[in-house]
Structures are given as C-alpha cells and as structure tokens.
Structure 1
Amino acid sequence: MSLKDQLKDVLAQANTLATKAQDEKRDFTDEENTTILDLKKKADGLREQIRNADEAQAAFKALAGPKEEGKAASPVEPKPETAAKSYGEAFVRSKAYEAFKADQPHGTPVNITARQLHVKADTAPLSTALPGAIVPQMLPGYTDLTYPQPNTFLSLISMGTTSSSYVQYRQLVAVTNNAAKVKEGDLKPLSTLSTNVAEAHAFTLADGVKVTNQELADDGIISSLIDTVLTRNLDSYKENMVLNGTGGSDQPTGILNTPGTLSVAYDKDIVHTVSHAITQLQQLVPGISIQAIVLNPVDNEALNLMQDKNDRYLSNAPFATGPFTLFGVPRITSSIVPQGKALVGDFHSVQLLRKTPLSILAFNQNEDDARHNLTYVRAEEEDMLMIREPKRIAVATIAGTTPAAK
C-alpha cells in the first residue's frame, strides 16, 4: 500500500469515529479520544513521509532537468517566494492550511494551527523607481500625498518585539539640563534624570468567528475574513488597552491611567485648550515635535463644523480635500478616546512590543459545530505595553465645547 493510500485509510478511520459520535449525538469517549490522538500522530508521520518523498522527487527532476540531444541539462531555477502582504494571505499560504486542503476529506475533524504569521508591508505599491533607488519614508503622523494611508492612533506609537513576560523599567519623568561651556581642566557639568520605576506585563488578546466548512476551504473568503474582521477587532482591542488599560497582571496601564502625563484644563473652547496644550508641552519638553492631536470623532466633528460670522467653515470646507490639521498639527480620530478629551504630543515613547506573534487556529472538535458543519477560527497574539516618557503627552479636557460664536 502506498503512503498516500495509508494516509487515506487513517483519515477514513478518524472519519468513521467522528460520524459515529455525531450520529449518537455525543462527544468522543476516552477510548475514542486516545484513538483519535494516535491516528493524528500516524497521519502527521505519513504526511511528513509524503512531503519528503515529493521533495526528493522534485529534487531529482531538478538535478536531471530536460535534456536535448547534444545539450547538457540546464539547471531549474526555483520560483522566488514573495512575502505575504496580509495576515489572511499568510494564513492561506501556511503549511498547516495547505496540508488541510490537500489531505483532509470533507467531514474530517478540522485542526489547523498556523503560528507566528509575519507580513511585509508594501511601502510604495505604485513605485516606478529603478532598482536601487531610495524609497522615501514618511514619519508617523504626517500625510503622504503620493501614497496616502489613513492615519490611525496605532500608527503613531512605536512597535517592537520582546521575549519577556514581565519587566520593571524606568519611566523618564524630568530632565535637568545643565549643559554649559567649560574651560579646559574645569569640572564638566552633569545633567540629571528623574525617573520612576514602572512595570509591564505581557497580555494575551484573541478573537474568533465561526465559519462554514465551505468558507474555510476557500482561500479568498477565509483570507479576507481574517484581514477584515479578526485583525480589525484585535487592533481595536490593542488601541483600547494603549489608551484605557487599567493596569495589573491581566492588562497594561494605558496612557489615560499613567501618572506623569501633562494635564491641561478646559479654557473657552477646543481651539484655545489645544493651543494651551501645545504651548505647555513645548515649554516642558524643549525641542519636542508635536506629532498629532487625537480626538473622539464627535469632538473632531465640532471642529469641522466651526464657522465664522458669515457662515464660512473655518476648517476644510465639506467638499475640500487635503489633510485635517489644527495649528499645523495633524488631527487623528479614535472612537476609543473619551468624548471631551484630546491627546496631544509625541507618541513615539509609547512602545507596544509583541511577545508572541499572531497565530490563526481553526478547529471544530465539539458536537455542535460538527453537526452544523461549522469551524471556529481564532486569532491570538501576546503583547506588552511600555510608556517611557509620559510627560511628552498632554491630556486636555475639552468637554463642554461649542462652535465659535458668530
């Protein structure tokens, strides 16, 4: 019996057990669970043998190559692999998903685990630059008119990686600048840093949806579902933690609950209050570059609809194009920012570090899903949040604002 026939036989045994349990409307017995696990080990081993045999056959063909009389065989150039541009694409190109589509017949228990998915962003999808040319990079918070991207709050902060589950780190509270001109041999000045000890805990975030077996087996459908619903929901949760996390071992301490940020009181209207926030930050942190103003959509709308005495809009007109700014600083909206609050400043010192890369898992080992031909698809990752310099961010109270009087 060939390896593939052996694999089909193993899968058929598993399918028989699953069908029996479904017909009897029960979960697997302990004995059946043990059998299923043994069959899975055997199937995994057979798949590995089949994969090795296929690779060996391909290698032999590449070594032999097509021959013509009087000509030596030409080497076969492997097709270069391109990096996935989204998590959905990375999932459908993973070995786990490809093995599922190739080996598991309809009705077999589903168990797909695609771990540590990575994507590569296309920085200039329309670039016609010659090879070797430098692709211009845009700083977060600025508008790229050549390749416009929607500015989001998460695009303002620094992203990185970590291997730790818990760390104590130093938050910079204040800097005493003692820089001065000195003569040869004189004692050199010493600037001082005031810091606080802060803690950062890794936290796990996950979300999942149920899909039909037909959806799961279609590359385009499952890829788009992962790229829209699942990744969007995870990003929304991360944004909420960065802003509103209450601290403790189960979630990080967000910006709005971190001591040391600059608090700016309400004064007259949103324009005056934000202006005070910018000025106070520039006085507190010399040389600071104000990156963005983050507003709740309701407060941002109040700015958009402000009019002068002649009913002319003070900001971009409703049908105008171009970046939306206030005092030259980009305005970014986030529904997670509380209405009546505005965040102003430089957000680069906020670091969201990924401990465990995104994993996509799909499984249907329960009676209800198996009976209804449904599969649970789950996205999960583990992150850590650190806010290095809270004083570079101002939290302004803009509650009670109204459009400018005519």
Structure 2
Amino acid sequence: MDKLTMLKDAAAKAAQDAQDIAQKAVDERRDLTDAEQNDYKASMAKAAELLEQAKAVKKDNDLLAEVKAFASELGGVKTEDIDLTGTVSNTLSQRENIGATFVKSDAYQALIKTFGSRIPERAQIQTPPVAVKSLFTGAGDTSAGAFVVPEDSGIIEMLGRRPLTLRDVISRRRTSSDVVEYVRQTAHTNAAAPVPEATTAEAPTADIVAGGYKPEGSWAFERVSTAVKTIAEWVPATNRALADAKQLEDLINAELAADLAETEETQMLSGDGAGENLTGILSTSGIQQQAYDTDIFTSVRRAITKARTVGRVAPNAIMLSPVDVETIDLARENGSTGKFLGAGPFAMGPRTLWGLPILESEAIAEGTGLVGDFTKAVLWDREQTTIAVSNSHADFFIRNLVAILAEERLAFGVTRPAAFVRTAVQA
C-alpha cells in the first residue's frame, strides 16, 4: 500500500471516529459530554492534518509524473543542450510539456540548424511564436483546478426580512387564560346641565313647578371576548445535520421565529377573524372610514380630525405602505421643478406627517392608510415564541429525522374601534 492510500485511509478513519462519537450522543438523545467533545475535536483535527499530508503527497506524485513525462518526451535531447532560460522549470507549471513542445517545434529546429548541434551560451536568438496548447489552469476540474480547495467563509446570506412596526406601538399585556374579556362602552348620553334651586318641597305636578331636579344621563356597555389563538410553523431536519452544523440549528430557530413575527403583524392588522385567524384592526367592526380627498395629505388630515372628534382620542401614528410613504417624501411644490414639501433627501430623524410619526409597513396595502391611537389595540401574550425539537412525527424516529417547531399563543382585540380611521390615500 502506497503512502497516499495509507494517509487517505487514516484520515477517513479519524473522521469516522468523530462521527461515531457525535452519532452516539444523538442516538441517546443527549448532549456530548466534555470528554466526548474533546475526543470529537481531537479526531476531527487529526483527520484534517492527515488530509493535508495526503494532499501534499498527491501533489509530489503529480509533480514527479510531470517530470518523467517531460524526460520521456525530450528523448535523446539533454537538458544542458537547451540554454533557453526557464525552459525546463516552466514546464512544471503547464498541463502538456511546454519544453518538449518547444524543442520539437519547426521554429526551434530551424534555429538549431543555423548553429549546428547546439546554441552557443551567449548567442542572441529570436524565433517565431510557438503555439502551446492545454496549459495547466485553475479554471477546470481536470486541470490545476482539481487541487484548489474552496474556503468556507462562514457567511450565510438570507433573503431578508421586512421591518416590523406594529407590535412596538400597540398595548401589550400577558394572560394566563385561553379567553380574554374586556368591557367597552357602546353609547354615552351627556345630559349634564345647570340645575335651578328647588322652589318647594312638594312633588311637582301639572300646577306646581318644584325645580331642583337633576338630569339623568345614560351609558351603555358591552362585554367582549377574544380567544387565544396559536401561530406556528415547523421544518424537518436530520439528526446528523444538526450534530455536524450547530450554526444550522441556530439559523433555523431564528428564521422560524421571524416567520411567526411577520404573520403576527399581518394578523393584528388585517386578520379576518374567521377560524383561527385573529380579528385585526382593519377587520374590527366600528372603526371609522375616510374617503380619498384631493391628495394623500388632505385625506390623512381629515382622518386625524375624525379620530379626534368621533373617536375621542389623540392619534399617535399613521401607518402607510412603502409606496405611499415614497409619495409623501417625493412631493414637491409646483410639480417636479419645485422644492420638496418635506425635509428632503438629506433630512435625519423620524418621518412625520401632520406632526404624527409614520409607521412604514409592508403589511398594509398600497393606497390604504390607518390613522389612530394604536394603544387602543391590545395584544395579550399567552405563550411567547418557543422552539421545540422532536422525532415523534410520523416515521422520523427510525429515519433519524427531527421536526423543529416554533409556535406562539396570543389574543388580540381593539378596545375602542372608533379610535382608528381607515383612509384611502390614492384616488
């Protein structure tokens, strides 16, 4: 058995030893002990070292083969008869023997005849170009590229996520129940008025005006229930993948949690309440509506007025799509030649419109704006996002597969629907 084969076999055995250590812990459904971790790392390090030695031996063998091929192609020509600087050394970096190709070329043979059997040491010579094919290059796997080992940068670039804004401005609470109830007022009659002093102790009759009676107001309430709903997602993975690439497990966990957060925002804004969907703000009965009026600025301003005069709140934000926010940012005086109506492209700090912060969100449809006091929407966390791993799904146990599950449980409700105004911001 040659040295290269021995090194390859030893490297494979060291790698297998490391894999056996990891697989044993996976089969027993536990983490590696400190001793196992040390053995695993030592075996992997040994495998890597042996692999590097094998690569060096292979490179030496290939180089020796090239030299032998060069000597064979030269035949009876001795190296001392070739006094062209770099002829022999350069052949070692090319796929086919450049030295042999040059020596056999018509240009070289014609040149050598002019000097006899050999070229004098200090002779100045020049030949026509000699074509040389099939150089060693790093471009192909069948050439020098076969010896190029890719470097793992450790970078994993995902597709990206949309910014989430709604959870930051609504009210957030905790609950330990599966159903949340709250009371909201549905009607209010303000009958308060100045009251004259009583003029007699007798009860009032058709002939007697007693005075002193206070007017009676009226209020009406309703009890609202909202059920805790579950948002969840899972993906399959192999035990070996999770054991060999710890970074993969962390990445899966983060991506699953982000998926839940995106769905949560969409549900809180526009869930239709059917089945296991939340009833989002835009689907809540009783929110106000504002039709498009002139432009986006006028429409939003009229919505603010409705929120104040009907909803009896001081609006604290305006939610708009990125496209509609762009319309605001690019608005100019007197068409495209005028200056920007807003702070312009070099402004720093948060965007505002009519003094209210703009919530830029991809969850709301283009052409729709939402103005209101977002504290009147409440999110109750029953169980915040959790990640669980199990092989109890289908035949995963016998196939060394696991299901990675992310889920959260929450309830959502709008305590004062009139505090929100849905407005059209495009004609």
TM-score by length of 1: 0.56
Residues 184-199 of structure 1: pairs in structure 2 closer than 5 A:
192-199=218-225
Counterpart of 1:237, as a letter, is T
The partner residue of 1:353 within 361, 380, 396 is 380
Give structure 1 stretches of 5+ with no counterpart. Answer: 1-11, 20-39, 44-98, 107-149, 401-406
Conserved 8 A contact 1:153-1:333: no
Alignment correspondent of 1:247 = 273
Residues 224-235 of structure 1: pairs in structure 2 closer than 5 A:
225-227=252-254, 229-235=255-261
The partner residue of 2:231 within 205, 215, 219 is 205
Distance 2:382 2:196 in 1: 49
The partner residue of 1:263 within 286, 289, 297 is 289
Alignment correspondent of 2:340 = 313
Distance 1:163 1:243 in 2: 24
Residue 164 and residue 269 in structure 1: after superposition, are their counterparts in 2 closer, same or farther (change >3 A)? Answer: same
Residue 255 and residue 193 in structure 1: after superposition, are their counterparts in 2 closer, same or farther (change >3 A)? Answer: farther
Distance 1:372 1:332 in 2: 47
Residue 239 of structure 1 aligns to a residue whose secondary structure is helix
The partner residue of 2:305 within 266, 279, 301 is 279
- TM-aligned CA deviation for residue 278 of structure 1: 0.5
The partner residue of 1:376 within 391, 403, 412 is 403
Indicate the larger mover: 332-341 or 321-330.
332-341
Residue deviations 1:64-112 (CA, integer Å, cap 9, x gap):
xxxxxxxxxxxxxxxxxxxxxxxxxxxxxxxxxxx64559x89xxxxxx
User: Which structure has greater helix proportion?
Assistant: 2
Conserved 8 A contact 1:291-1:345: yes
The partner residue of 2:423 within 382, 392, 396 is 396
The partner residue of 1:164 within 177, 198, 206 is 177
Residue 318 of structure 1 aligns to a residue whose secondary structure is coil
- TM-aligned CA deviation for residue 167 of structure 1: 4.8
Distance 1:158 1:344 in 2: 16
- TM-aligned CA deviation for residue 399 of structure 1: 2.8
Conserved 8 A contact 2:169-2:375: yes
Residue 246 and residue 397 in structure 1: after superposition, are their counterparts in 2 closer, same or farther (change >3 A)? Answer: same
- TM-aligned CA deviation for residue 285 of structure 1: 3.5
Conserved 8 A contact 1:161-1:354: yes
Residue deviations 1:294-319 (CA, integer Å, cap 9, x gap):
01111111111111123322223223
Counterpart of 2:355, as a letter, is G
TM-score by length of 2: 0.53
Q: Does 1:302 align with 2:315?
A: no
- TM-aligned CA deviation for residue 233 of structure 1: 1.2
Conserved 8 A contact 1:201-1:249: no
- TM-aligned CA deviation for residue 155 of structure 1: 1.0
Residue deviations 1:264-288 (CA, integer Å, cap 9, x gap):
11111111100000112211144x2
Distance 2:412 2:229 in 1: 9
Counterpart of 1:362, as a letter, is V
Q: Does 1:335 align with 2:348?
A: no
Conserved 8 A contact 1:171-1:390: no
Residue 348 of structure 1 aligns to a residue whose secondary structure is helix
Distance 2:272 2:164 in 1: 26
Conserved 8 A contact 2:237-2:402: yes
Counterpart of 1:261, as a letter, is I
Alignment correspondent of 1:238 = 264
- TM-aligned CA deviation for residue 392 of structure 1: 0.4
The structure with higher relative contact order (CA 8 Å, sep 6+) is: 1
Distance 2:196 2:253 in 1: 64
Residue 376 of structure 1 aligns to a residue whose secondary structure is strand
- TM-aligned CA deviation for residue 255 of structure 1: 1.4
- TM-aligned CA deviation for residue 159 of structure 1: 1.2
Residue deviations 1:27-67 (CA, integer Å, cap 9, x gap):
xxxxxxxxxxxxx8xx9xxxxxxxxxxxxxxxxxxxxxxxx
Conserved 8 A contact 2:379-2:411: yes
- TM-aligned CA deviation for residue 209 of structure 1: 3.6
Distance 2:394 2:309 in 1: 64
Residue 207 and residue 276 in structure 1: after superposition, are their counterparts in 2 closer, same or farther (change >3 A)? Answer: same
Residues 10-159 of structure 1: pairs in structure 2 closer than 5 A:
100-102=31-33, 152-159=165-172
Residue 184 and residue 202 in structure 1: after superposition, are their counterparts in 2 closer, same or farther (change >3 A)? Answer: farther
Distance 1:340 1:394 in 2: 14
**Identity, % of aligned pairs?**
31
Indicate the larger mover: 289-298 or 201-210.
201-210
Conserved 8 A contact 1:173-1:390: no
Larger radius of gyration: 2
Counterpart of 2:345, as a letter, is P
Residue deviations 1:120-175 (CA, integer Å, cap 9, x gap):
xxxxxxxxxxxxxxxxxxxxxxxxxxxxxx87112111111223323554343344
Residue 102 and residue 306 in structure 1: after superposition, are their counterparts in 2 closer, same or farther (change >3 A)? Answer: farther
- TM-aligned CA deviation for residue 351 of structure 1: 1.1
Distance 1:197 1:366 in 2: 41
Residue 102 and residue 162 in structure 1: after superposition, are their counterparts in 2 closer, same or farther (change >3 A)? Answer: farther
Conserved 8 A contact 1:172-1:390: no
Size of the alignment, in residue pairs?
Answer: 264
- TM-aligned CA deviation for residue 339 of structure 1: 1.7
Give structure 2 stretches of 5+ with no counterpart. Answer: 1-19, 38-162, 199-211
